[in-house]
Amino acid sequence: MEKLVLTEEETMLSDMARGYLDGAAPVAKLRRMRDAGETHDAALWKEMADMGWAGVLVPEAQGGSDMGYAAANLLAREMGKTLAVSPYISTAVIAATALRQVADARAEAALARIAAGEATYALAVDEGIKFDPEAAQMTARADGNGFRLDGKKQFVVDGAMADRLLVLARTDNGLTLFDIPADRAGVTRDRSNMIDARDAARITFDNVEATGEDVLGQVDQAMTVLKPALMAGQGALAAEMTGLAAGAFDMTVGYIKERKQFGIEIARFQALQHRAAHLWCEIEVTASAILNAGRMMDADPDSAALAVSLAKARATQTATLAVQEGVQMHGGIGMTDAYDMGFYMKRARVGAEWLGDYSYHAEQVAAARGF
Amino acid sequence: MTAESTPDAFREELRAWLEENCPQEMRDGKMTEEGICWGGKNWQFTSQAQKQWLDRCAAKGYTVPTWPKDYGGAGLNRAQEKIFHQEMGRINARKPLQSFGIWMLGPALLHFGSHEQKLHYLPPIARGEVRWCQGYSEPGAGSDLANVQTKGEDKGDHWLVNGQKIWTSYADKADWIFALVRTDREAPKHKGISFLLIDMEDPGVETRPIKMISGISPFCETFFTDVKVPKDQIVGEENRGWDVAKYLLTHEREMISGGGAGLSGGGRALGAVIKDTMEGLTDATLRADAMRCEVDSLAIGLTLERYKDQAEAGQGAGDASAMLKYMGTELNKRRHELMMTAGGSDALEWDGPLGNRAGDWLRTKANSIEGGTSEVMLSIVSRRVLGLPG
């Protein structure tokens, strides 16, 4: 396994991403999109695809840049710093990983479309208020050579804008994953008005036709394909949340250095210094877990579950702390809509739930550690 | 075994060597006070196996695996060091030797000592023949370490040392002490300190144990009355001892945060201890606390790994090591609170069914005080890492 230090290429990739995102996707961009009621910027995603980000996990044979999971996480982290909005995790990370598990011509064509920025994906697994893919109740009834899908999904991130949906449904002897176009007859998408102003949907499947061609991997064997994809998504989301924590932290430290009360900068107060220092320590420790998760996914994906859950658990905890401290240390202004800290707080809350909350992942860690 | 061999070959050789040389009795990972071999002139081995294990490891350089061979080490690189710890952990082997000489003085000497000093002082540390203690704190200094007052007067061929140190861990069992001594009273406080090596058998050195709440006395007071210290027993330059002290403190912080000796359960992954304690645990609150502790343990362990990898890549942690000390010791305190709760009434007796769990728990309360308090660590991070105004 590569060491827990960024390689020269990784540092360059990070710096390059930062430079681009500061110009193209600052927090102000998210604010403008929210105010305009938009959740997707097709031009931004096309630019990201042109830089190789949509194909970060797509093999070169399909036009991808195939940089691996540690690199994919670095990009996610940089996007998190300024809350960049894109279907990166759903499409470039989760869908690309799922498709890579299936080595057929159909999957390869789909990967090529992802890398080119021509197809966006959303993952439809949640049916209840908590992440629990194995509990999916949506049905895929065998019908002739194909299936009929019936059921409801919620919290489908990027689900309102995506071209295609990865849908998990119950078949006769297990769970099966389908890859279907989002505009197929019988699919109704209701855009969710999310607190973080990002794209998500509640989706109803009413007697939706799926053919054998639409099955990703084997019937009844969804987890073979889905598990690596979920891990990849969880790892990248953890990285994004750590970037988010760092972004909120930088904003907070910048603020307390400027803001004066009782005639001096409030950064001189030891109470605030120690809170800021503690937060920095937490971010630094979490960064190790993120890097490790990426390295494990690259080196030994079959054994990466512990590393990924550790990263997601720590990232959730750290981002939560970062935004809470961010608002508190900003005082009243941190609570206003005009100020950006609230955007960080809301994105952190959504990220905490998506793909498993702290308890879910801490349980995974405990199980992997044998207690 | 050579530093040049491939990782796989190294692992294979090491496994075979451990199989043949690590006595069965030394394979219980026991890191309690009684289980640790500290070495030194007056060391009484607790068993023949403990002595055998030390001697065999010392002969291979495995008491200090990363030190150069010339100075008693095995000259392992970072990748081999990782394998070394993995393989030792795999058979649950005890560390053959622990000492302040290994954790603190050794690294400082390797960095600041002359070749002669390294040849003279390091191999006896590696062989466990000389036990060292640390003479830093003073009654009036505490976390304001640069405020030391112990005085060293220049008498031509030697310094005449007078003063008092406190919290000198195991000074009553040590053969030598490395001490911060004020050799220039006119200079600003950081600039007038020298780092001296002093033989505890010299006339005028006296120690007294301090009994602690844990019922034991690892700490001492050490007094110096007209002690003559030859001029060649200085490390680094005269009046520049603060540089050495700071370098050494960085190592100490990393050691404490990593759960090295001084912390019970040291040497094993922090999480493993929690896991053993939590075996079959059903209480939901306790289980949740344990999980949280486990998550944090693993992440802090990875951070130690990352910092070591960074150091090897030439990106030293510097002041960021204050973070490791702070996070590691606070976690260790949480961990021991948890172990006490998990132990219930069995944990409340001295040497009860769970051994000295209460003593270990009480000992951890010093973790966030010794080597700089948690508050001092946070101040270091806030000033030197975050650049907040002082």
Asked whether residue B272 carries a pLDDT value surpassing 80, the answer given is no
A286:B299 CB<8 A: yes
List, for residues B97-137, the tens digit of each pLDDT value: 998 999 899 999 999 999 999 999 999 999 999 999 999 99
CB A341 within 8 A of CB A248: yes
DSSP assignment letter at B153 = E
Nearest to B152 by CA among B46, B233, B50, B58: B233
pLDDT of residue B82: 86
Active-site entry in B221, B252, B254, B370: B252
Q: How far apart are CA B208 and CA B225, in angstroms?
A: 14
B257: chain A residues, CB-CB within 8 Å:
none
B299:A310 CB<8 A: yes
Mean pLDDT computed over A117-141:
97
- B279 pLDDT band, cuts 50/70/90, is low
pLDDT of residue B263: 33
Tokens representing residue A195 in the block: 């607190």
* C-alpha A87, offset from chain centre: 8
A285 touches chain B (CB under 8 A): yes
A282: chain B residues, CB-CB within 8 Å:
327
- Give DSSP secondary structure letters for B162-221: EEEEE--TTGGG-SEEEEEEE--SSS-GGGSEEEEEEETTSTTEEEEEE--TTS---EEE
Mean confidence (pLDDT) of chain B: 88
Asked whether residue B161 carries a pLDDT value surpassing 60, the answer given is yes
Q: Whole-angstrom distance between the N-terminal and C-terminal Cα of chain B?
A: 51
A285:B292 CB<8 A: no
Q: How far apart are CA A111 and CA A54, in angstroms?
A: 10
**Helix axes B321-343 and A270-299, enclosed angle (nearest 10):** 80
Q: How far apart are CA A132 and CA B227, in angstroms?
A: 71
Q: What is the dihedral of CA B372, B373, B377, B383, to 10 degrees?
A: -90
A256 touches chain B (CB under 8 A): yes
- Give DSSP secondary structure letters for A70-129: HHHHHHHHHHHHTT---SIIIIIIIIHHHHHT--SHHHHHHHHHHHTT---EEEE---SS
Nearest to A122 by CA among A65, A82, A168: A168
Three-state SS sequence of B296-313:
HHHHHHHHHHHHHHHHHC
CA angle in degrees (0–180, nearest 5) for B124-B127-B132: 55
Mean pLDDT computed over B53-79:
95
* ipTM of the complex as predicted: 0.91
Enumerate residues 6+ apart whose C-beta is below 8 A from B9: none
Among partner residues B279, B302, B375, which is closest to A371 by beta-carbon distance?
A: B279
The residue written with tokens 């359960």 in the block is: B265
Burial tier of B305 (Cβ tally within 10 Å: 0-12, 13-18, 19+)? middle
Among partner residues A256, A284, A365, which is closest to B294 by beta-carbon distance?
A: A365
A304: chain B residues, CB-CB within 8 Å:
none
Percent over 70 (pLDDT), chain B: 91
**Å between B62 CA and nearest CA of chain A:** 23
Region of poorest pLDDT, from A146-155, A191-200, A309-318, B73-82 = B73-82
pLDDT of residue B262: 32
Nearest to B22 by CA among B56, B47, B46, B70: B56
B283 touches chain A (CB under 8 A): no
Asked whether residue A49 carries a pLDDT value surpassing 50, the answer given is yes
Neighbours of B156 (CB within 10 A): 6
B326 touches chain A (CB under 8 A): yes
The residue written with tokens 């144990």 in the block is: B209
Amino acid (1-letter code) at residue B32: T
A329 touches chain B (CB under 8 A): no
Nearest to B101 by CA among B88, B110, B92: B110
Asked whether residue B264 carries a pLDDT value surpassing 60, the answer given is no
B327:A281 CB<8 A: yes
pLDDT of residue B195: 97
**Å between A257 CA and nearest CA of chain B:** 7
A359: chain B residues, CB-CB within 8 Å:
288
CA angle in degrees (0–180, nearest 5) for A85-A89-A90: 100
Amino acid (1-letter code) at residue A299: A
3-state SS assignment for residue A172: coil
CB A168 within 8 A of CB A222: yes
Q: Which residue of A has its CA nearest to B274?
A: A371
More confident residue, B366 or B264: B366
Paired sense of beta strands B193-199 and B234-235, if any: antiparallel
A284:B281 CB<8 A: no
CA angle in degrees (0–180, nearest 5) for B246-B252-B257: 130
Tokens representing residue A174 in the block: 């297990």
Neighbours of B155 (CB within 10 A): 11
A369 touches chain B (CB under 8 A): yes
Asked whether residue A53 carries a pLDDT value surpassing 90, the answer given is yes
Q: Which residue of A has its CA nearest to B306?
A: A4
CA angle in degrees (0–180, nearest 5) for B310-A250-A12: 45
**Å between A366 CA and nearest CA of chain B:** 6
CA angle in degrees (0–180, nearest 5) for A22-A23-A29: 85
B318 touches chain A (CB under 8 A): no
Asked whether residue A137 carries a pLDDT value surpassing 70, the answer given is yes
Asked whether residue B256 carries a pLDDT value surpassing 90, the answer given is no
pLDDT of residue B267: 37
Asked whether residue B282 carries a pLDDT value surpassing 80, the answer given is no
Chain A contacts in chain B segment 212-271 (CB below 8 A): 271
pLDDT of residue B258: 52
Interface-testing mutation among B253, B257, B283, B303, with chain A (most A C-beta atoms within 10 A):
B303
Cα distances from A320 to residues A28, A80, A314, A347, in angstroms, run 22, 14, 10, 10
Mean pLDDT computed over A2-26:
95
A285:B299 CB<8 A: yes
Q: Which residue of A has its CA nearest to B79?
A: A3
A42 touches chain B (CB under 8 A): no
B382:A274 CB<8 A: yes
Q: How far apart are CA A259 and CA A11, in angstroms?
A: 33
List, for residues A199-215, the tens digit of each pLDDT value: 999 999 999 999 999 99
Percent over 90 (pLDDT), chain B: 60
DSSP assignment letter at A58 = S
Among partner residues B294, B326, B383, which is closest to A366 by beta-carbon distance?
A: B294
pLDDT of residue A370: 77
Among partner residues B300, B315, B382, which is closest to A277 by beta-carbon distance?
A: B382
CB B222 within 8 A of CB B164: yes
pLDDT of residue B286: 85
Give the largest CA-CA distance in chain A.
78
Nearest to A116 by CA among A156, A157, A65: A65
Asked whether residue B273 carries a pLDDT value surpassing 90, the answer given is no
CB B311 within 8 A of CB B317: yes
B389:A268 CB<8 A: yes
Interface-testing mutation among A8, A251, A260, A281, with chain B (most B C-beta atoms within 10 A):
A281
pLDDT of residue B265: 35
Mean pLDDT computed over A85-110:
97
- The answer to whether B252 is a known catalytic residue is yes
Q: How far apart are CA A236 and CA A7, in angstroms?
A: 18
Asked whether residue A324 carries a pLDDT value surpassing 70, the answer given is yes
